[in-house]
Amino acid sequence: MNPLLIEIGTEEIPARFIPGGMRALKDGLTKVLCDASIRFENVFEYGAPRRLAVFIENVEAKQKEKKVEVLGPPKKAALDKNGNYTAAAKGFAKSRNIDIERLKVIKTERGEYISATVKEPPGETTDILEQALPKMITSLHFPKSMRWGNGDLRFVRPIQWITAIYNNSVIPFDINGIKSGNMTRGHRFLSPGAFKIRDTTTYLHVLSNNSVIADPEKRKEIILDGIRKIDSDLNCKVHEDKELLDTVTYLIEFPTVVLGGFDAGYLALPKELLITCMKVHQKYFSVEDSDENLMPYFVLVSNTLKDNNETVQKGAERVLRARLEDAKFYFNDDQKKPLREYAEKLKEVTFQEKLGSVYEKTDRIASVCSFLAEALGMSDKETTSRAVRLCKADLVTGIVREFPELQGYIGMIYARRSGESDEISTAIYEHYMPRFSGDTLPSNDLGTLISLSDKIDNIASLFAVGLIPTGSEDPFALRRQAIGIINILRSKDYDLSLDSLIDKALEVVRQKVPVQEDLNIEILKFFNQRLEGMFLAEGFSYDLIDAVLSIQERTGTGARYNLSDIKNRLETLSLMRKEPGFPDLVTAAKRVCNILRGAPSAGGTIEDALHEHAEKELFRAAKKAGDKLTKTGYRSLLELTKPVNTFFDSVLVMDKDPDVKRNRLSLLADVKALFDSLGDFSKIVD
């Protein structure tokens, strides 16, 4: 077995695309080998701004021998009326160099054919890769790709070179005029020339000698070592930021950690503003003391030699000083008027073309908030109204226009400086929470109500104008906001149903734009998709999740779409499934569901019109089970198994008498309603 190296050299790839590009190249290459039945082991993936690479330590020189089924002529042409092989069959056998006795008849979608199992001679790995690699490379998918020059090739960034070496020999192919070879390149500035890879096992070492650390994990460890040294030398703590660490790891090829500083006077600015200035625009780490107070230092990761640290430091300090001056100007200028005066300017900011301004959006938030406050018995309407009116006001401040990431946080700071209460100020900041998976939830009820109202308005209003997420596109992050609503409702002990929240939001949206019929059902399905993923992650069975959630998608669920109730019924079904009588209960319930499928609504059951002993027994059993349904945690449903089965064995439901038929269907509908109170049993896998 021999080593294989594939490297695609490009112009600088955006940091966020590199991890996915590495995985895509590894998956594509290993799929080529697997599909060709070429054995391999020990796969390594590498990536940096100017290259994506995969190195496989051991790759077999040839394919495994394969046996394939080859079709010959149809049976009617291959066999005569006596069952003897015809000239057509003999010719097929000869063409495949096999004995006539090895032929057989098989059934296909097109009918019966003569076939033979033949061995394919194993191909050479180099030949197979020569044919497969161009298609594999050009089919790699990226979130965004581009064309360059006059060619039709699309890739994440223009390809500059392709290195393809197996057993230290070039795998020859051509992509859009770019020929594969055994040449690679080092650091753009520190080692810009091309050089030959003579032994693929030394790939990382050769690149390192040319100022490229191709392994991102190695680059990350170098960065962390540099940060730890600064922590120790300065007796401080470089602010932990995994997102920023990942970004800088993929921004550079040759990391060097540098400490810089800024004027301590800037520490008068809000902490998050300073951190954002350093992180978002400059990709610098902030530095804190033991009490988590910011210190007038920062840490950057440069893409050059340590000999240049002083020059890098001075340049970084100069750039950051200009950024901090801008932040200081906007911060001081914004505070020349109180936050409430910014709220009127929201009339000039468009939320969405059909839905009007952000000011109009806050009106909708206020309406939903008022509904929630009344439903949950929170009576301070004046505080709620004031908080809603101010919650988006910071969007038109200078700081947020310059640093959009600070929306909400700056609103909280400005609200406090404008004399607003801590409750209102905190709600302004926290109404955006949770902002991402794992984020904290709002800490007070006011922030929670505004968060729910804001998020459900986003979903309801954008659904109403047709901006519904697709499989790959969700530009308004509606999935994330739906998950945020679910997490809030599951964590709070609110007596609130999700469908009532959706209905209220759509009622408010309807005052601005038309709302299609049954849009509430579509939104409920959208939430169900999020819930399904959550419950699966918690270990619940997919069919039980489907059974519980499918009930919620039907009309007329009313206040039953309570997330704690859904979780309770899912847990109940999971426990009942372990009981010996559960499979028989499912079978009985499915018999009821099947006969009612497509049947017209039968109306109420008339007890006096029940004549057969089995139907009377089922009526009494259903009433008894229904009376104690919640008291027994739905376990009284187990008592319906025998009467349901006896009913079907003894009674003709589709009686010739239409009144008898209607009454029996009505009885079964009543029984089905009892099953549906727990879930749709037709979805449960036996």
Question: Each residue of 388-405: pLDDT tens digit?
Answer: 999 999 999 999 999 999
Whether residue 151 is found in the same domain as residue 287: no
Section 283-312 average pLDDT: 94
Q: Are residues 223 and 138 in the same domain?
A: no
Which pLDDT belongs to residue 362? 96
pLDDT tens-place string over residues 218-270 = 999 999 999 999 999 999 999 989 999 999 999 999 999 999 999 999 999 99
Question: CA-to-CA distance for 195 and 184, rounded, in angstroms?
Answer: 6
Give the pLDDT score at 556: 43
Q: Which of the two residues, 244 and 598, has the higher pLDDT score?
A: 244
If you average pLDDT over residues 205-218, what whole number do you get?
96
Per-residue pLDDT, 555: 43
The enclosing domain of 598 has a CATH number of: 1.10.730
Q: Are residues 38 and 76 in the same domain?
A: no
> Mean of the pLDDT values across residues 474-484?
94
Shared domain for 143 and 256, answered yes or no, is: no
Q: Are residues 152 and 129 in the same domain?
A: yes
Q: By percentage, how much of the chain surpasses pLDDT 70?
A: 98
> DSSP readout, 328-391?
HHHHHHHTTS-THHHHGGGGGSEEETTTEEHHHHHHHHHHHHHHHHHHTT---HHHHHHHHHHT
Per-residue pLDDT band for 552 (boundaries 50, 70, 90) equals low
pLDDT (average), residues 284-302:
95
Provide mean pLDDT across the span 210-219.
Answer: 96
CB distance 320 to 271 below 8 Å: no
pLDDT of the residue at 488 = 94
Q: Work out the average pLDDT over 520-524.
A: 91
DSSP, residue by residue, 621-649: HHHHHHHTTTTTTTGGGGGGHHHHHHHHH
- 110, 153 contact by CB (below 8 A): no
More confident residue, 229 or 629: 229
Task: Kindly report the pTM of this predicted structure.
Answer: 0.79
Which alpha helices (H) appear in 406-477, and where do they start and end?
409-417, 422-430, 445-464
**Is 469 part of any domain?**
yes
Of the pLDDT bands very low, low, confident and very high (cuts 50, 70, 90), residue 214 is very high
Distance separating alpha carbons of residues 206 and 403, to the nearest angstrom: 42
* Residue 169 belongs to domain spanning: 2-62+124-209
Q: Can you give the CATH number for the domain in which 186 is found?
A: 3.30.70.260
On whether both 230 and 154 belong to a single domain, the answer is: no
Identify whether 356 is part of a domain.
Answer: yes
Give yes or no for a contact between 54 and 45, defined as CB atoms under 8 angstroms apart: yes
* The pLDDT of residue 563 is above 70: yes
Confidence band, pLDDT 50/70/90 cuts, at residue 183: very high
At 132-163, the pLDDT tens digits run: 999 999 999 998 999 888 778 899 999 999 99
d(CA 478, CA 456): 9
d(CA 31, CA 33): 5
pLDDT of residue 560: 60
Separation CA 330–CA 46 (nearest Å): 43
pLDDT tier, 69 (very low <50, low <70, confident <90, very high otherwise): confident
Q: What is the mean pLDDT of residues 655-681?
A: 90
User: What was the pLDDT predicted at 565?
Assistant: 85
Chain mean pLDDT for the chain: 91
pLDDT tier for residue 558 given thresholds of 50, 70 and 90: very low
End position of a domain, from candidates 173, 191, 209: 209
Structure tokens at 389: 């009116």
Confidence of residue 129 (pLDDT cuts 50, 70, 90): very high
Residue 492 DSSP class: S
If asked whether residues 279 and 299 sit together in one domain, one would say: yes
Residue 327, domain member (yes or no): yes
24 against 606, higher pLDDT: 24
Higher pLDDT, 621 or 600: 621
Q: What is the mean pLDDT of residues 19-44?
A: 94
- Mean pLDDT calculated for residue range 456-466: 96
Mean pLDDT of 108-119: 83
pLDDT band of residue 71 (cuts 50, 70, 90) is confident
Alpha-carbon distance 448 to 460, whole Å? 18
| pLDDT at residue number 312 | 95
Q: Does residue 539 fall inside a structural domain?
A: no
End residue of a domain, out of 296, 319, 334: 334
Per the CB < 8 A criterion, the answer to whether 161 and 178 are in contact is yes
Per the listing, tokens 């954008």 go with 462
Residues pairing with 514 in the sheet: none
Question: What kind and span of H or E run contains 59?
Answer: strand 51-59
Whether 557 shows a pLDDT value over 60: the answer reads no
In this prediction, residues 599-610 reach a mean pLDDT of 80
Is residue 533 one of the residues assigned to a domain? no
Q: Residue 222 domain-assigned?
A: yes
The pLDDT of residue 291 is above 50 = yes
d(CA 405, CA 274): 12
Higher-confidence residue: 43 or 607? 43
| 361 pLDDT above the threshold of 60 | yes
Q: What is the pLDDT of residue 479?
A: 95
Final residue of a structural domain among 190, 209, 228 = 209
Asked if 347 and 366 sit in the same domain, the reply is yes
Q: Which of 62-66, 82-86, 286-290, 336-340 has the lowest mean pLDDT?
A: 62-66
Answer yes or no: is 523 within a domain. no
Percent share of the chain, pLDDT over 90: 70
Domain at 411, CATH number = 1.10.3210
Is 538 part of any domain?
A: no
Is there a single domain that holds both residue 14 and residue 154?
Answer: yes
**347 plus 471 within the same structural domain:** yes
Pair type for strands 350-352 and 178-181? unpaired
440 with 508, same domain: the answer is yes
How many independent structural domains does the chain possess?
5
Per-residue pLDDT band at 51 (split at 50, 70, 90): very high
Say yes or no: 116 and 132 in one domain. no
